Amino acid sequence: MLFSGKTSPYLPIAQKLGLEYQANADKAFSLAWAVLPELQKSGRARHVMFGPVQDHDLTIFQSSYTVQTGQAPIQVSHAVYSVPVPGWPDMHITRFRRGWLYAFFYRKARRERVLTGDGLFDGRRVVKCADPGFAQVLLTQDLRSFLLEKDSVAWRVVGERLCLIYRGNLRADRIEESIQRLYGFVQCVPNL
């Protein structure tokens, strides 16, 4: 990848954190991470950083794919931060979207949601989990409060990895803050 004759703006951050850095991942990496619903099999993973940070095996990358709109192609990007969570079932926690169109599609989904009994949380987040009992134990008051702090992120557990997903490009100025957000989730988790 070319950076106007400069090195990647992500390389110094990776070095500061003690992470390995790859400007472009191979296709196998992109396909493996396409299990996340936000990512596409046709996507490309770039700015991959990985290694141990604060006793966690951290992986960070940006995935981008192109959508044809009929007028012009549009690039869609997501920034992904991930740590392993051995033994956890697949789960997602996303923002509850309002409006008649979303209400129509969520009628069936409501039956599949994990409800916590916390009206504020249940009204702002959709939680689905392969093991609803696990989600009930996981979603303590501390974790629910933490999850309500930022609306623009999705949380997923896929393949025993906790993933923090932002829509948009990986931002060099927010990497350390996002790592702390990911670790904040882990710190709110009771001993399971």
Q: What domain range includes position 150? A: 11-188
Report pLDDT digits (tens) over 87-126. Answer: 999 999 998 865 544 555 555 555 578 999 999 999 899 9
- On whether residue 3 sits in a domain, the answer given is no
Share of the chain above pLDDT 90, in %: 74
pTM above 0.85, yes or no: yes
Q: Please tell me the distance from the alpha carbon of residue 192 to that of residue 183, in angstroms, as a whole number.
A: 16
Q: Please tell me the distance from the alpha carbon of residue 61 to that of residue 184, in angstroms, as a whole number.
A: 19
- On whether residue 1 sits in a domain, the answer given is no
Report whether 68 contacts 40 (CB < 8 A): no
- On whether residue 131 sits in a domain, the answer given is yes
**Domains identified in the chain, total number:** 1
Q: Please tell me the distance from the alpha carbon of residue 120 to that of residue 44, in angstroms, as a whole number.
A: 37
Question: Across residues 45-66, what is the average pLDDT?
Answer: 94
For the chain, the average pLDDT equals 88
CA dihedral 136, 39, 171, 158 (to 10 degrees): 30
Q: What is the pLDDT of residue 4?
A: 41
Residues 6 or more apart from 86 whose CB is under 8 A from it? 160
Mean pLDDT lowest among 63-67, 75-79, 96-100, 132-136: 96-100
- On whether residue 5 sits in a domain, the answer given is no
Question: Across residues 164-189, what is the average pLDDT?
Answer: 94
Report whether 33 contacts 51 (CB < 8 A): no
Q: Please tell me the distance from the alpha carbon of residue 141 to that of residue 64, in angstroms, as a whole number.
A: 35
